[in-house]
């Protein structure tokens, strides 16, 4: 009887621990999102986004553009973290949600839905009822850049948000990088957070994957205490999808791989927090 009661107490404590971890991750992400939306660190990008939001594309003339930096979106307990390059001028800069309202987003949400990470197979606005389970989406820079080309100082200015997301998303097992700029940013992020990044540096290629582990001596507060699979994919931009550089089967294979890894990786537990080697 006593053993049964102590089992119940342990389960109750574990449940309370899990609930407080969710609350802590969600609170951390909400705080980051508020700061992102109010950020003005990159004058060139802010001017560009605000101008696009005023001038609009003819097809969206009746819509109110978001026009502000775009925060990350998804599940605080994400196992899969998708890292894009930046919001699209008439996509997320219009709708206010990452990858929402453009053709790259059509590809992304279809694949997320097929692989069980998204409730809906498409995403048109931030009020469409889309919901991600075990997945989170953010980008290297959170303001749309002219010609989709952020400058190095803008990437550096925005990197602090990625560092903080890494700390908040403690359950992540796969970091899916869409395009070579996201891949390079992910390696810099993980190296700075205490992960051992091999030399020569891992090379970007569609389907390339690298299992990175925290360095034996790392105690960096933003480093999740677990190995993380960095998975690379071509970005689902029109330039890649319309030229056949990225095909549906290639794209779907990436998400099947991500799903398989997150299914097999052990979930993070509060006891992992003590990891330092
Ligand atoms: S790109 Fe990032 S750092 Fe630059 S203004 Fe936008 S949110 Fe701020």
Instruction: Note down pLDDT in tens along the chain; length 277 residues.
Output: 444 555 555 555 555 555 666 677 788 999 999 999 999 999 999 999 999 999 999 999 999 999 999 999 999 999 999 999 999 999 999 999 999 999 999 999 999 999 999 999 999 999 999 999 999 999 999 999 999 999 999 999 999 999 999 999 999 999 999 999 999 999 999 999 999 999 999 999 999 999 999 887 666 555 556 889 999 999 999 999 999 999 999 999 999 999 999 998 765 544 433 222 2
CATH class of the domain at 9-268: alpha beta
**Res 205: pLDDT:** 97
Closest CA to 96 of 120, 73, 75: 73
CA–centroid distance, 127 to ligand 1, in Å, is 24
Query: Rounded CA gap, 275 and 277, in Å?
Result: 6
Task: Give the CA angle between residues 252, 33, 117 to the nearest 5°.
Answer: 25
**Res 215: pLDDT:** 86
Look at ligand 1, atom 3, and give the residue with the nearest C-alpha: 158
Look at ligand 1, atom 6, and give the residue with the nearest C-alpha: 143
- DSSP letters, 71-82, are --EE-TT-SEEE
CA–centroid distance, 45 to ligand 1, in Å, is 7
Q: Cβ(87) to ligand 1 under 6 A? A: no
Bridge partners (DSSP) of residue 224 are none
Say if CB 182 and CB 234 are below 8 A apart: no
**Res 27: pLDDT:** 85
- Ligand 1 atom with the smallest distance to the CA of 160 is 3
Q: Cβ(46) to ligand 1 under 6 A? A: yes
Query: Rounded CA gap, 174 and 81, in Å?
Result: 6
**Res 218: pLDDT:** 60
Domain ranges of the chain: 9-268
Q: Cβ(162) to ligand 1 under 6 A? A: no
> Tokens 């839905």, residue?
113
CA–centroid distance, 9 to ligand 1, in Å, is 46
Q: Cβ(39) to ligand 1 under 6 A? A: yes
| Contact partners, residue 118, CB within 8 Å, separation at least 6 | 109, 112, 130, 131, 132, 133, 135
CA–centroid distance, 159 to ligand 1, in Å, is 9
| Contact partners, residue 261, CB within 8 Å, separation at least 6 | 173, 174, 229, 231
- Ligand 1 atom with the smallest distance to the CA of 157 is 3
Query: Rounded CA gap, 271 and 111, in Å?
Result: 33
Q: Cβ(141) to ligand 1 under 6 A? A: yes
**Res 25: pLDDT:** 77
- Ligand 1 atom with the smallest distance to the CA of 150 is 1
**Res 216: pLDDT:** 73
């Amino acid at each position: 009887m006593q053993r049964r009661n102590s089992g119940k107490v342990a389960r109750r404590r574990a449940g309370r621990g899990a609930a407080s971890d969710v609350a802590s991750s969600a609170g951390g992400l909400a705080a980051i999102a508020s700061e992102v939306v109010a950020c003005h660190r990159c004058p060139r990008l802010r001017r560009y986004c605000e101008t696009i939001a005023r001038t609009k594309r003819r097809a969206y003339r009746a819509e109110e553009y978001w026009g502000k930096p775009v925060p990350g979106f998804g599940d605080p307990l994400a196992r899969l973290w998708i890292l894009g390059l930046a919001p699209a001028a008439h996509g997320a800069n219009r709708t206010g949600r990452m990858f929402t309202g453009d053709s790259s987003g059509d590809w992304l949400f279809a694949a997320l839905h097929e692989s069980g990470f998204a409730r809906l197979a498409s995403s048109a606005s931030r009020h469409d009822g889309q919901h991600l389970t075990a997945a989170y989406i953010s980008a290297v820079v959170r303001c749309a850049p002219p010609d989709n080309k952020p400058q190095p100082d803008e990437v550096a200015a925005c990197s602090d948000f990625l560092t903080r997301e890494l700390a908040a998303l403690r359950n992540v097992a796969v970091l899916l990088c869409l395009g070579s700029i996201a891949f390079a940013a992910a390696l810099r992020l993980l190296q700075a957070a205490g992960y051992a990044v091999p030399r020569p540096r891992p090379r970007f290629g569609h389907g390339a994957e690298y299992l990175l582990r925290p360095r034996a001596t790392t105690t960096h507060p933003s480093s999740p205490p677990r190995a993380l699979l960095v998975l690379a994919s071509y970005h689902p931009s029109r330039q890649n999808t319309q030229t056949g550089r990225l095909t549906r089967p290639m794209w779907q294979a990436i998400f099947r791989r991500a799903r398989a890894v997150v299914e097999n990786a052990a979930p993070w537990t509060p006891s992992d927090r003590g990891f330092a080697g």
